[in-house]
Amino acid sequence: MGMLDGEHAIVTGGASGIGRATARRMVEEGATVAVIDVDAAEELTAEQGILSFVADVRDPEACTRAITDAADALGGLTVLFNNAGVGAAMPLHKYSDAEWSRLLDVNLAGTFHGIRAAVPLMREQGGSIVNHASVSGVRPTRFEGPYSAAKAGVISLTMDAALEYAPKIRVNCVSPGLVETKLTAVVLGDPGLRAKIEEATPLGRIGTPDDVANLVVFLASPLASYITGQSVVIDGGSVLPNPQADAILQWFVQPH
């Protein structure tokens, strides 16, 4: 038996990266799955029978229509992974209005659109919503001001939805650190930089899409039946070090 036997799941941003890995893991755990993305997920459809719908989560009508159509095709909706997202990096004062809006619209408004469309389809039978936040929403990172703000908003929205829709619908979010995807390949392809990141990460490696997919599946499964309103950080311990305290305490414990 799988962890998601009998579940009907939708993954936004499911054509690549974390969304793609999660859709596959959900199928492996017994769910029937549809993905929604700005790009068609034809390979997933051919390989695993995952349904593919094309929509931009920034467009509220298109997002609602895609989620409704996907739920109809699946025979219901019990799990939603609001995964679609985009990022950017530059000094805060250099962000244009258009770029600010793009980051907020995809990451935060897109998550809201997903929740709003899914709740009426879940309220009677219950279900689980998992939102994709970020460790940057827990601890803001330099040069990612709009992205960090949007992801902090996702965490707050998650807690609000958990309060409003309990006990029928559980709502949680995952907050990944650095994950190896096509989007991060440009920096992780530098051996020196990669080694520096791995050395600074307590678990000694970069996260993978499957790492996050496993967490999403857990949160959507009956194993997490008493968990709601939580932001679960999955970063290999990367935000644990404290440069000030670490330097002082190392001075005390090392022989002089």
Active site residue 226: no
In sequence order, what are the residues at sequence separation of 6 or more whose Cβ sits closer than 8 angstroms to the Cβ of residue 255? none
Q: What count of other Cβ atoms lies within 10 Å of the Cβ of residue 65?
A: 14
Residue 133 CA to its chain's centroid (Å): 5
CA gap 56, 118 in Å, rounded: 16
CA gap 136, 98 in Å, rounded: 21
Q: Exposed, middle or buried by CB within 10 Å (0-12, 13-18, 19+), for 220?
A: buried
Q: Which of 95, 147, 165, 226 is catalytic?
A: 147
In the block, which residue shows the tokens 């096509």?
A: 182
Q: Which helix (H) or strand (E) holds 26?
A: helix 17-28
Which residues are known catalytic residues?
A: 147
